[in-house]
Amino acid sequence: MRALIFFVALSITSLFFTNSPQRAKTDIQPTRLFDEYRLIRWEDEKARLDNFAVALTNEPDSIGYIFVYDGMDICAGEAEARALRAKRYIVEHRGVPWDRVIWRRDGYNGQFEIILEPIRRDVAVPYPFRRLAVDGHLVETHLNKNCATRMAAIKKSTFKN
């Protein structure tokens, strides 16, 4: 009889905990990244951003993250300018709501890199994907040639095909 009462109590208790409507944040890391690229032509980058926008449209419960890494192959401030351009393209040209696209500078990686990753809202966002350290210290050096020209080209990028 005690066993039966225990079993019934256990069954009733399990009903309260398994049907909880709230979802817990999970720490699932993606097994593969949606897309990643380094310094590529703007026309090629737009094609990748188009694919990213389509993925976000098909996954309405996801936020599109643009993780950007600084590097010695670009000018100071260029990584942020490229990330802002990518977000503007996805929002203004592809029509993805602005609050579904987030860019984040994840540090210095030695080489400029952008990672595009749609992440479900209930998944904890990893931080950071990569970091470059030399002798345990983060080292940041940038290109110093033609920076004004490079930054002007980024700002003048058009969204027309």
- Per-residue pLDDT reduced to its tens digit, 14-71: 544 444 444 444 444 555 689 999 999 999 999 999 999 999 999 999 999 999 998 8
Question: Residues with Cβ < 8 Å from 114, sequence gap 6 or more?
Answer: 36, 37, 38, 66, 67, 68, 69, 82, 83, 86
pLDDT value of position 143: 60
Three-state DSSP at 81 gives helix
Position 80 confidence tier, pLDDT thresholds 50, 70, 90: very high
Strands (E), 12-54: 35-37
Report which of residues 150 and 97 the model is more confident about.
97
Please tell me the predicted confidence (pLDDT) of residue 19: 47
pLDDT at 157 over 50: yes
Helix (H, G, I), strand (E, B) or coil at 11: helix
| 3 state DSSP class of 20 | coil
Using CA atoms, how far apart are residues 9 and 31, in angstroms rounded to an integer? 40
Residue 23, helix vs strand vs coil:
coil
List, for residues 85-141, the tens digit of each pLDDT value. 999 999 999 999 999 999 999 888 888 999 999 999 998 887 665 555 555 555 566
Domains of the chain: 32-155 (3.30.1330)
- pTM score: 0.71
What is the residue type of 88?
R
